[in-house]
Amino acid sequence: MTETTSARIAGDLRARIAAGEFGPGDRVPSTRELTRQWGVAMATATRALSLLQDEGVLRSVRGVGTVVAARPTERPGRRRTTRSPARDEVVRAAIAVADAEGLPTLSMRRIAAELGIPTMTLYQHVAGKDELVTLMIDRAFGEEPLPGRPPADWRTALETAARVEWAAFRRHPWLAPAMSLTRPQLVPSALAYTEWVLEALDGRGLDTAAAFTVHIMLFNHVRGMAVNLESEAQAEAESGLTADEWMDTNADTLTALAAGENFPHFKRIASIDFDLDLDALFELGLRCLLDGLRGVLP
């Protein structure tokens, strides 16, 4: 009886994977979840997952759980879709979803729904969500072209690079959180940007490592400011309040916190009409950063 039930659970998971509910790398229900869903013992649920692992359908990932190991093969007799979108169409659809709803809402199933195709059709063009996001970054980051050659003045060149990057992050609020400083996505558009900045710094008396450090510092200033864009958009969507409206609703709390004698400077801020303008903060930070570089760049 236990073996039959394990096989039934495995068959259900196999069918859900083949239907596109779970794609390569997606986490499937844990043994604990399966025991709740099916009303079986832990050993039975464990056996079901083991059956699929033995088949090579699932694999165990430390710290994550059990995930889909590879693309499920199409079942005999299953009707093939007559529509197969080009990779570029998939990437454009994914960007449109992320722009409108944020990166956390992005899934292979969601993109397939937008395109009106079976989820598994997407895997003809991208290996999974990670590859899709990398392609999105490459396309979005490359939409803002830099001049063919950097200006002769290093400050003008770095200002140009920073503002081009800021414009890309402004257009796509999900882009800054998706990009990594410590584990950068090696995409052509980002490498072209890096190359342009390094060319602007070439011959300025910096060694290669120092020039690259300046580039990273500039990138991190822009990205660090831009990571607020998506979180603010999500907060506004969830609360129905703009940042200014949220501050207005919390004005009494801020005033009460500042009422004592421990925060005299903050009390003055709470008493004025302060406008938190991310564009102005970006420009101020950029100006201070470039002013500081005068000590190392002629």
Looking at every residue in the chain, the average pLDDT score rounds to 83
CATH number at 101 reads 1.10.10.60
Q: Is residue 129 part of a domain?
A: yes
Terminus-to-terminus CA distance in the chain, angstroms? 80
Comparing CA positions, the residue from 144, 151, 133, 125 lying closest to residue 222 is: 144
Biggest CA–CA distance in the chain, Å, is 80
Which residue pairs, CB below 8 angstroms and at least 24 apart, start in 101-108? 102/173, 102/174, 102/230, 102/233, 102/234, 102/237, 103/133, 103/174, 103/177, 103/178, 103/230, 104/234, 106/132, 106/133, 108/20, 108/23, 108/132
Q: What is the DSSP string of 234-289?
A: HHHHHHS--HHHHHHHTHHHHHHHTSSSS-HHHHHHHTS-----HHHHHHHHHHHH
Q: The CATH number of the domain where 14 resides is what? A: 1.10.10.10
Domain count for the chain, please give it: 3
Shared domain for 163 and 130, answered yes or no, is no
Of 95, 117, 141, the residue that ends a domain is 141
C-alpha R_g of the chain:
25
pLDDT tens-digit series, residues 74-121: 433 333 344 445 888 999 999 999 998 888 888 888 898 888 888 888
pLDDT value of position 85: 53
Contact 143/113 with Cβ under 8 angstroms? no
Q: Are 90 and 115 in contact (CB under 8 A)?
A: yes
State whether 168 and 245 are in the same domain. yes
Its pTM surpasses 0.75: no
Same domain, 278 and 175: yes
Print the domain residue range for 44: 2-68
Phi and psi at 58, nearest 5°, equal -120, 160
29-83 per-position pLDDT tens digit: 988 889 989 988 888 888 888 888 877 788 876 666 788 875 444 433 333 344 4
Domain boundary among 11, 34, 68: 68
215 & 255 share domain: yes
